Amino acid sequence: MEETNILIVEDELAIAEMVEIILRKENFRHIVICETYQKASNYISNMHYDLYILDIMLPDGVGLDLAKQIRFKSDAPIFFLTAKESDADKIRGFMNGADDYITKPFNPLELAARVKAHMKRYTSSFKASDEKVYKFGHFLLDKGSAELTVNGEKSIVTGKLFHLLLLFCENAGQILSKEQIFLSIWGEDSYIDDNTIMVHIRRLREKIEQKNPSNPKQLITIRGIGYKLVNEEK
């Protein structure tokens, strides 16, 4: 925890300092606070952080765009800490790369618990390296490099989306329930709803489906049970 680098992007200094105090009580020591979109963008471009806590509404920009910038270079956990609390806002947050979404006002103990749970999973992902390559239909996934190749074109899959695709590849042909997906990807200490899983499934379909992600042929829904990765129908 002491070596974890954290970036807090929040234009209300009192809230940013409260979050910093909460994290320091959990033995996080390397914390940077910035209050504008432009300053945060510069930090993100030039420094590596292990955790990002972002407000959505900033005086000179939108935190959603910062999340997209982060995802181009890192799969570190991204938290949105914001007053925007509608389901549509939450879905947009997850679609732009967020790992968690907390609305203001927030419970300090809950924030601390969520941060620790995400950091535990994030840091543990580096402990074992497996170079296995999963070949499946028109795409392949390199587990070691987190590189997805679809129809010969390569892209990097980061964060929860990578772990979700890996879960399906490791269990190809088997039905995975929402409960199984939730426990495998987010863990029992996380606080998410069905919308979170559905958003990630949709984003994954947009990457691997050959034709129309809205009419999937490869990552299919088994109504009332869950999802299954199958060979694409000819």
Q: What is the pLDDT of residues 37-46, one digit of tens each?
A: 999 999 998 7
- Computed over every residue of the chain, the mean pLDDT equals 86
pLDDT band with cut points at 50, 70 and 90 for residue 232:
low
HEC string of the chain equals CCCCEEEEECCCHHHHHHHHHHHHHCCCCEEEEECCHHHHHHHHHHCCCCEEEECCEECCEEHHHHHHHHHCCCCCCEEEEECCCCHHHHHHHHHCCCCEEEECCCCHHHHHHHHHHHHHHHHHCCCCCCCCEEEECCEEEECCCCEEEECCEEEECCHHHHHHHHHHHHCCCCCEEHHHHHHHHHCCCCCCCHHHHHHHHHHHHHHHCCCCCCCCCCEEEECCCEEEECCCCC
pLDDT tens for 18-53 read 999 999 999 998 899 999 999 999 999 878 888 999
- Give percent of the chain with pLDDT exceeding 90: 41
Whether 14 has a pLDDT exceeding 50, the answer reads yes
Q: What is the pTM of this model?
A: 0.59
Structure confidence by residue, pLDDT tens digits, 80-89: 999 888 888 8
161-214 pLDDT tens trace: 888 999 999 888 889 998 888 888 887 656 667 788 899 999 999 999 888 889
Query: Does residue 155 surpass a pLDDT of 70?
Result: yes
